[in-house]
Amino acid sequence: MKDHEHPLFVRVEKWRRRAGRVRDDVVVAAHGGGGKAMRDLIDDLVVRELGEAVQVDEDQARFEVSKLAQDGDRLAFTTDGYVVSPILFPGGDIGRLAVNGTVNDLAVSGAKPHYLSCGLILEEGLPIAELRRVMKSMAEACAEAGVSIVTGDTKVVPRGAADKIFITTAGVGIIPAGIEVGAQRIRSDDVILINGYLGDHGAAILAARGELRLETDIPSDCAPLNGLVEALLAEVDVHAMRDVTRGGLAACLNELALSSEVGMVVEERALPVRREVAGFCEILGLDPVHLANEGKLVVAVPAAQAERALEVMRAHRYGEQAAIVARCRAEPPGVVTLNTGFGSERILDMLVGEQLPRIC
């Protein structure tokens, strides 16, 4: 009898080829112990659910430099952690948020996102059904953005040492030749545009927590913006971009103004705010310019190209409500002000603290 025909050999081969399946209802300590339970978790909830989005065969990702260089000769690299509460919310979940947040950080540098890593911190007791939903959501987000998860890690911590699930992602993208995007390129006669409604994510998360007994159908704006960015870069001389996340529009514009040493005037009446979000903010004493977003970016372009940029943004599914919201000026440098529309102008500063904790 040949070795490969031995019954024991055949049984072992069949066992090796069989993908593991989780039979527990919740995450347990053994799922992080490095043994068969952990292998089953990775096979069933990571590899199986991520499907084509995942390309993990070893403990590290390996790239062919020549293939990467086909898109450009500069790498963009970013990393971020996600601790949003609740992990499931209208319009998305922590998995979709992690993929899109990393994709957008790369996109606003002018890079084409390619590869992501994914680190999972799981709390004992996390329902397997919720983890499966998060993994499926990550797969869908990767497919939409055109990226792959190429390396990752999973850890399980005791009850109370985390809150269900934390995710850390890092991303690699390639910046095409000729693309130069950054705050240092902003000029005093530039115009600032945003691709849609402000504050949807912040309002959705706060409502989803159920602490205020508010009933609202506002979904998060969580979305990948690399397609929109590519369309803009193909048509317009984009000077700078920044995704509008924690701290909202106010924080984003202040960061750009300080980095460029250019002043900015925001037109309050031009700000695109969903009626439901405006009412939500009025009830709670919040301001949409400080609310978090997860599918918005601001773009600085020369004034002569502002209308064309607006057309390009409105032609994209994630830019239909795009608007010109601010204009740059030389003085005072690094200061953002808000024109209230009643003949007054006030400084629009960053918040000192965090308006809403664990928003992303």
Q: Tell me the pLDDT band of 65, cut-offs 50, 70 and 90.
A: confident
CB 337 within 8 A of CB 345: yes
- Domain assignment of residue 6, yes or no: no
Same domain, 113 and 218: no
Q: Centre a 10 Å sphere on the Cβ of residue 357 and count the other Cβ atoms it contains.
A: 9
Q: Tell me the pLDDT band of 137, cut-offs 50, 70 and 90.
A: very high
CB 179 within 8 A of CB 251: no
Residue 6: its pLDDT value, please? 53
Nearest alpha-carbon partner for 195 in 321, 93, 81: 321
Residue 139: its pLDDT value, please? 96
Residue 353: its pLDDT value, please? 72
Across 224-228, 241-245, 356-360, least confident range:
356-360
- Domain assignment of residue 105, yes or no: yes
- Domain assignment of residue 33, yes or no: yes
Q: Centre a 10 Å sphere on the Cβ of residue 213 and count the other Cβ atoms it contains.
A: 6
Residue 60: its pLDDT value, please? 85
Nearest alpha-carbon partner for 246 in 292, 279, 195: 292
Higher pLDDT, 73 or 335: 335
Reported as a single tens digit per residue, the pLDDT across 274-331 is: 999 999 899 888 999 999 999 999 999 999 999 999 999 999 999 999 999 999 999 9
Residue 19: its pLDDT value, please? 66
* Per-residue tokens: 265: 């005037």
Over residues 206-220, mean pLDDT: 81
| pLDDT above 50 for 9 | no
Please tell me the distance from the alpha carbon of residue 290 to that of residue 252, in angstroms, as a whole number.
9
Reported as a single tens digit per residue, the pLDDT across 69-127 is: 888 889 999 999 999 999 999 999 999 999 999 999 999 999 999 999 999 999 999 99
Instruction: Characterize the bridge pairing of strands 148-157 and 112-123.
Output: parallel
CB 109 within 8 A of CB 171: no
CB 359 within 8 A of CB 207: no
| pLDDT above 80 for 355 | no
Domain CATH code at residue 140? 3.30.1330.10
Same domain, 166 and 216: no
- Domain assignment of residue 7, yes or no: no
Report how far apart the first and last C-alpha atoms of the chain are (Å, whole number). Answer: 60
Same domain, 226 and 342: yes
Same domain, 198 and 340: yes
Same domain, 156 and 223: no
- Going across the sheet that includes 297-302, the strands are 240-243, 297-302, 190-194, 323-329, 263-267, 336-339, 345-347
| pLDDT above 80 for 211 | no
Nearest alpha-carbon partner for 289 in 314, 266, 313, 323: 266
Q: What phi and psi, each to the nearest 5 degrees, are found at residue 269?
A: -70, -15
Same domain, 129 and 170: yes
Higher pLDDT, 63 or 287: 287
* Per-residue tokens: 244: 């509008």
Same domain, 171 and 211: no
Same domain, 208 and 120: no
Same domain, 169 and 217: no
Report CA torsion sign: 149, 296, 79, 94. Answer: negative
3-state class (DSSP) for residue 134: helix
The amino acid sitting at 146 is: G
Domain boundary at 150, 175, 200, which?
Answer: 175
Residue 10: its pLDDT value, please? 45
Structural domains of the chain, count: 2
Q: What is the pTM of this model?
A: 0.92
Our CA dihedral for 56, 61, 64, 65, rounded to 10 degrees, sits at: 150
Domain CATH code at residue 256? 3.90.650.10
- Domain assignment of residue 2, yes or no: no
Same domain, 60 and 194: no
Over residues 25-36, mean pLDDT: 93
Reported as a single tens digit per residue, the pLDDT across 138-159 is: 999 999 999 999 999 999 999 9
Please tell me the distance from the alpha carbon of residue 98 to that of residue 102, in angstroms, as a whole number.
6
Domain that holds residue 278: 183-347
Whole-number Cα distances in Å, 57 to 36, 127, 149, 210: 17, 27, 11, 41
| pLDDT above 70 for 5 | no
Instruction: Characterize the bridge pairing of strands 263-267 and 165-175.
Output: unpaired
Same domain, 218 and 92: no
Reported as a single tens digit per residue, the pLDDT across 238-266 is: 999 999 999 999 999 999 999 999 999 99
Over residues 161-190, mean pLDDT: 96
How far, in whole angstroms, is CA 72 from its chain's centroid?
Answer: 23
Higher pLDDT, 350 or 1: 350
| pLDDT above 60 for 193 | yes
Domain boundary at 148, 175, 202, which?
Answer: 175
Same domain, 155 and 188: no
Using alpha carbons only, give the angle 302, 306, 312 rounded to the nearest 5 degrees: 125
Residue 341: its pLDDT value, please? 76
- Domain assignment of residue 202, yes or no: yes
Domain boundary at 149, 175, 201, which?
Answer: 175
Higher pLDDT, 9 or 176: 176
Residue 151: its pLDDT value, please? 93
3-state class (DSSP) for residue 354: coil
